[in-house]
Amino acid sequence: MGDDPMHVMMRQIMALFDEYQSKENAKHVLRALKENARQGFWNGSLPPIGYRVVAAEQRGAKIKKKLEIDPIHAETVRLAFRLALEGDGTSGPMGVKAITKHLNEHRIFTRDGGRWGIGTVHRMLTRQTYIGRHEFNRRTKNGANKPDEEVIPVAVPPIIDQAMFDAVQARMKARNPKVTPPQVVGGPTLLTGLIHCAKCGGAMTIRTGKGGRYRYYTCSTKARQGPTACAGMTVPMEKLDDLVAKHLEDRLLDPARLEDVLATVLDRRQERTERRHAHIAELNKRATETDLRLKRLYDAIESGVADLDDPDLRDRIASLKAIRDQSRVDADRASAMLESAGQKAITAPMLAKFAQTARQRMRLPSGGYRRDHLRALAQRVEVNDGEVRIMGSKSDLLRTLAAAGSSGTLPGAVPSFVPKWRRGCPPELTDSRFYIRY
């Protein structure tokens, strides 16, 4: 074609038709993919770590595929969630960076044999596919979220249960520096970042009177927005600090009370231990069975029934070796974690020693209290008319107690960020409450 106006117009018309045809093709392809997803089939992309694609059924010349759990890499997913929630037995719950470091240091590689990155681990810990809800057509090609009515849910076999997934999401949100700034943890007041108004749920901040002679905790919502937003609460700081610390000393740090508070957590701990023993036995069984299958193949080669030069046979042997070796590595790692956790059994003398040490170290020699030790025992304080509610995590208390038992002293280190709890927070984080009336 030339460059005269007629030829230019023809080229533009042809380009418009090409663009129209391309968009029509894309529309029909997406419609077919969405219908395929509605029927529960996989659309051909790389599956999430912990899953593999298998043929489900054949329709004419087309083979429909679904996801099934990959027994080797699914254990890596479970390990990452356990590390986020419980740690490795020698530490508390891990963040994304610590989990990434743990996986790489223990030579637990990605699906293609590479090293883990922070972004990959974060996506794994936040992906709802692992609780059985995969979402197709969630994002546009530019990465923006599509409306919910365009998203197609696809049922897949779950690797993680809902309770563990929710608990990990809550912990990750609590670790987010945007939730609670470092100034809250490092501030000069005892209950900064912990104390909330029970009427509106807002934080309570410090106000002073008489030129700084008196200090009060007061509702920040009322202070910022006036009494129409919240009737508000104002409590003398020294009185409330003494009230909370004394109640923790007298009630929570009583050995009998500690044993009662931790009873259900210890029961769940025993159940997890039994499940881990069963999991280790299953891994050892898988390694043994795979070894026997390899032995039968070797016997067939020696007897001349099978040809070692057959590429399919070589691939089969390599695959079985990989399954056997990975099962052994997973079993050894799970056994090491179980042994490490088992060294921290909670005993009556440990409870008594912990309570005594915590009482002694909570109070400063010059008067007042140590913020870090109080925060190890309580994570939220709500103030209402005539009542104070102290809330804490049994799981965090158990970890503090176990760490004290292994080191012989109450741990001095505390988390850098304190989770800001609110209404609707999962029960894992609010499973121990104490009520004070004043």
Flag whether pLDDT at 78 surpasses 80.
Answer: yes
Flag whether pLDDT at 400 surpasses 60.
Answer: yes
Flag whether pLDDT at 417 surpasses 50.
Answer: no
Higher pLDDT, 229 or 260: 229
Which pLDDT tens digit goes with each residue over 356-396? Answer: 777 776 766 555 556 666 766 777 889 988 888 888 776 66
Distance CA 215, CA 120 (A): 47
Which pLDDT tens digit goes with each residue over 134-165? Answer: 888 777 777 787 887 788 888 889 999 998 89
What are the structural domain ranges in the chain? 1-38, 69-175, 185-258+348-437, 264-342
| Per-residue model confidence (pLDDT) at position 401 | 65
Q: Kindly report the average pLDDT of the chain as a whole number.
A: 77
Q: Residue 302: pLDDT band by 50, 70, 90 thresholds?
A: confident
Section 398-414 average pLDDT? 51
Higher pLDDT, 189 or 97: 97
Tokens of 130: 């692992």
Distance CA 292, CA 299 (A): 10
Section 80-108 average pLDDT? 85
Distance CA 157, CA 54 (A): 13
| Per-residue model confidence (pLDDT) at position 210 | 72
Which residues lie closer than 8 Å to 314 by C-beta, 6 or more apart?
Answer: 308
Q: What is the DSSP string of 366-421?
A: TSSB-HHHHHHH-SEEEEETTEEEEEE-HHHHHHHHHHHHHHSS------SS----
Distance CA 280, CA 336 (A): 11
Flag whether pLDDT at 103 surpasses 80.
Answer: yes
Flag whether the pTM goes above 0.85.
no
> Using a CB cutoff of 8 Å and minimum separation of 24, what contacts does 288-291 make?
290/320, 290/323, 290/324, 290/327, 291/324
Higher pLDDT, 252 or 269: 252
Flag whether pLDDT at 325 surpasses 60.
Answer: yes
Q: What angle do CA 191, 193, 199 make, to 5 degrees?
A: 90
- The region of weakest confidence among 60-64, 104-108, 384-388 is 60-64
**Of the options 2.60.120.650, 3.90.1750.20, 3.20.20.70, 3.40.50.920, the CATH number for the domain spanning 69-175:** 3.90.1750.20
